[in-house]
Structures are given as structure tokens and as C-alpha cells.
Amino acid sequence: MNQAAASQRLDKWLWAARWFKTRALAADQCDRGRIQLNGHAAKPAKEVRVGDVLIIELERERREVEVRQVGLQRQSAPLAQAMYRETESSRQARERQAELRRLSPEPEGSRQGRPSKLDRRELQRMLDRSLD
């Protein structure tokens, strides 16, 4: 990675570190307030430096990472992972959430397949009664 750059745009860093497929997606997440830089909401053009702490909120996860490198180009996944380090508290919280999701039942877990013909007819009878 190129260490010549002392700082880099946040959207470009998120893209280069492979958090998002495109810079546009990274910028959109910044605009939506899902990315925080050192505890503050960050805009896409905010400069990221080594040692900064980012909070990245993805679909079900919230990760806190420390910037270890700034690079100008998108690299392979193993090299991109060297650009940051997840904090220990973030890793533990993420593992705890994954375990809770694994142990809790899905809301629709008891339902199996489509309603039968009998179920549909009973439903239709109830609807017809409620309209009378």
C-alpha cells in the first residue's frame, strides 16, 4: 500500500478497504449517517488518518475499527484487511449478537409452506362473516 498519503477521503478509504463495492455506496452510507469518524457523523469528503476510529453500521452489525493504513488504490482482500483493525469490544459485541440471533427463533419459523386449500377456505369464510 502506498504510505505516502497521510490522509485520504473517507469514501475512498471505505472503498479501498473493501467495506463497500463502490465509492458511491460508501458516500451514500456516510450521507445516511451510518458511518462515524472519531465519534461524529462523517461526510464522504472527511479526511481519514492513521489512528482514527470508525464506527461502521452495516445491515445487522455495528463494527468499530481503527485505521491502520491509508492507501490510494483498492487492493486484494487480504491487503485491504491490513488497512484496519477491529477493536476487541466491537468483536465481542458482534459475536454476542450473532450468538443471540442463532439462539432466538425466527418469527415465521413455525409456519410451514403455503396455506392448504382448507386453510384458504376457512380464511375466506371468516372474511365473509366479518363483512356481513
The pLDDT assigned to 108 comes to 60
The pLDDT assigned to 1 comes to 46
The pLDDT assigned to 5 comes to 56
Within 13 Å and on the Cβ side, how many CA atoms surround 5?
16
| Contact assessment for residue 71 and residue 16, using Cβ atoms and an 8 Å cutoff | yes
Q: Which residues contact 38 (CB under 8 A, 6 or more apart)?
A: 52, 53
The pLDDT assigned to 110 comes to 64
| Contact assessment for residue 70 and residue 93, using Cβ atoms and an 8 Å cutoff | no
* Backbone torsions φ then ψ of 105, nearest 5 degrees: -75, 150
Q: What is the DSSP letter of 67?
A: E
From the options 3.20.190.10, 3.10.290.10, 3.40.50.620, 3.30.565.10, give the CATH code of 7-103.
3.10.290.10
The pLDDT assigned to 109 comes to 61
| Per-domain residue ranges of the chain | 7-103
SS3 label, residue 5: coil
Q: What is the pLDDT of residues 12-62, one digit of tens each?
A: 999 999 999 999 999 999 999 999 999 999 999 999 999 999 999 988 789
Within 13 Å and on the Cβ side, how many CA atoms surround 9?
13
Q: In the predicted model, what is the mean pLDDT of residues 78-105?
A: 89
The pLDDT assigned to 103 comes to 85
Alpha carbon of 69 to those of 37, 55, 57, 106: distances in Å? 15, 16, 20, 40
